[in-house]
Structure 1
Amino acid sequence: MTIDSDNLPGPLRWAVWLLRGEAVGVGLLAVFLVWSDLTGTASDLVSALFVTGFAVAGAAVLWVLATALAHRRAGARAPAIVLQLMLLPVGYYMIQGGLGWLGTPLIVLGVVVCGLLVSPSSTRALGVG
């Protein structure tokens, strides 16, 4: 049986769009890191490559989770929520470090996407609960 992903409820559709937006943002960061790895003088090449690989993997995971949610795969909801909850401490420490202009939107984004994913219409669409 095929489920039409175009008929997603609004909250789930927004969550998918926001997750894809996050994937694009992290992907752009990964492109910048690759460029930095190729053009910069790294004092620790292994660490630089690890951070770049982590960014590439993060972008890929966010995109895969968004696609799975768009196809109503219930198993993608929990990992997506965990990734969004990880934005809370990151945002907090950015605020503490003087980057409130970036930390605050990250916290808001994490809370909003979590709220969208646990909303009743998203829960029904995913067949959870």
Structure 2
Amino acid sequence: MPTPAGGRQHDDARHGARRAVRALRAAVVLLAAEGLLLVSLGVFLVVRGFGADTDDRGRAELGGLFAVVAGVVLWLLTWALLARRQWARSPLVVVQILCIPVAVGLLQAHRYGEGVPLVVVPIGVLVLIGLAGAYRPHQPTGPGGSSE
């Protein structure tokens, strides 16, 4: 039975859209986990900063506070990516790219437990965002359609 005109293209477009949504969801899960880890690390540093063995309490507290704020900002950017806000893409890409030199330094210091995830997760997020189509501008959906 012959396919109607545009039938195969329509199926391919739907399949591509489903794949893009799955990639976006996977990126959001990784980013949310990254944010949770940052907030947890920040809380740990703040609590540890009050310990008797801490040499510089101010530095420990400030580092912990910075990690908590960074985790919250990452969650906000993750929410914005899920809502397909175009302004959220650039900061997310920059944050992920900035993780890579830090990871290389950790790997060179033979701290593989921290270095390997810090390489794998950002690269995974960047690939998933790319698969979700977040690097190209959204096309209008049709006559009078809007990209957001």
Higher relative contact order (CA 8 A, sep 6+): 1
TM-score with structure 1 setting the length: 0.83
1:37 aligns with 2:59: no
TM-score after normalising by structure 2: 0.73
Specify whether residues 36 and 120 from structure 1 end up closer, same or farther in structure 2 by C-alpha distance, changes over 3 A only: closer
**Separation (CA, whole Å) in 2 of partners of 1:82 and 1:38:** 33
Contact residue 26 and residue 128 of structure 2 kept, 8 A: yes
Q: CA deviation at 1:118?
A: 2.2
Counterparts of 1:87 and 1:104, CA distance in 2? 11
Unaligned stretches of 5+ in structure 1? Answer: 1-6
Q: Is the 8 A contact 1:9 1:121 kept in 2?
A: no
More helix, by proportion: 1
Q: What residue is the counterpart of 2:72 in the other structure? A: 60
Matched residue pairs, number?
A: 121
Q: 1:91 to 1:38 in 2, by over 3 A?
A: same
How many percent identity over aligned positions? 33
Partner of 1:94: 106
Give the CA deviation at 1:41: 4.0
Runs of 4+ that moved beyond 6 A: none
Distance in 2 (alpha carbons) for counterparts of 1:33 and 1:63: 19
Q: Which residue of 1 aligns with 2:12?
A: none
Question: Which secondary structure does the structure 2 equivalent of 1:43 belong to?
Answer: coil
**1:38-72, Cα deviation, whole Å (9 max, x unpaired):** 23443222212221111111111111011111111
Q: Distance in 1 between matches of 2:51 and 2:65?
A: 17
**Structure 2: any 5+ residue segments left out of the alignment?**
1-17, 140-148
- Residue 127, structure 1, aligned to residue 138, structure 2: yes
- The alignment's C-alpha RMSD in Å is 2.1
Q: Is the 8 A contact 1:11 1:122 kept in 2?
A: no
Distance of aligned partners of 1:79 and 1:39 in 2 relative to their CA distance in 1, 3 Å threshold: same
